[in-house]
Amino acid sequence: MEVKLDLTEDYASQVFSLYKETWWAENRTLDQTANCIKGSQITVGLFDDEDLVGFARAITDFIFKAIIFDVIVSEKHRGKGLGKKLIIAVKEHPKLHSIKHFELYCLPEMESFYEGFGFTSNVGGIHLMRCTNA
């Protein structure tokens, strides 16, 4: 597997295919996917030859926070340590060497996976809040 950093919207169709494998991104459009990639400061892809088999992205201020989103490994490549490879690639991205906090949100069943990288849900009583834009 080859890790490629800083993917552009040129990879939108391949990321879009990965999104279709998830319950949380399956309704995103190709145009939304391209704009999502373009609007993210950090993008990481895992490639098996020319095929994108894993993807993650982050939004950051490059000093205090980097929020990791869309950690995906294709269904046929799961269970091979590629999710671990993605998280490591994001956390070790050269542009993120000064980040104080990496953050993400996940389902409860994924907490133990992310705890293996130093993530914790003990964040001083902070709660996720959301407002849907109509």
Question: Which domains are present in the chain?
Answer: 2-115 (3.40.630.30)
Planar angle of CA 90, 96, 97, nearest 5 degrees: 115
Q: What confidence score (pLDDT) does residue 124 get? A: 86
Residue 126 pLDDT grade (very low, low, confident, very high; cuts 50, 70, 90): confident
Mean pLDDT of 99-109: 94
Strands (DSSP E) along the chain, which ranges?
A: 2-5, 42-48, 51-60, 65-73, 101-103
Lookup: tokens for 95: 């542009």
- pTM: predicted TM-score of the whole model, two decimal places: 0.92
Q: What confidence score (pLDDT) does residue 14 get? A: 97
Answer whether residue 123 shows pLDDT above 90. Answer: no
Q: What confidence score (pLDDT) does residue 37 get? A: 97
End-to-end Cα spacing for the chain: 41
8-36 pLDDT tens trace: 999 999 999 999 999 999 999 999 999 99
Q: What confidence score (pLDDT) does residue 117 get? A: 95
Residue 129 pLDDT grade (very low, low, confident, very high; cuts 50, 70, 90): confident
78-91 pLDDT tens trace: 999 999 999 999 99
50-78 pLDDT tens trace: 999 999 999 999 999 999 999 999 999 99
Q: What confidence score (pLDDT) does residue 127 get? A: 83
Give the integer Cα–Cα distance in Å for 9 and 117: 28
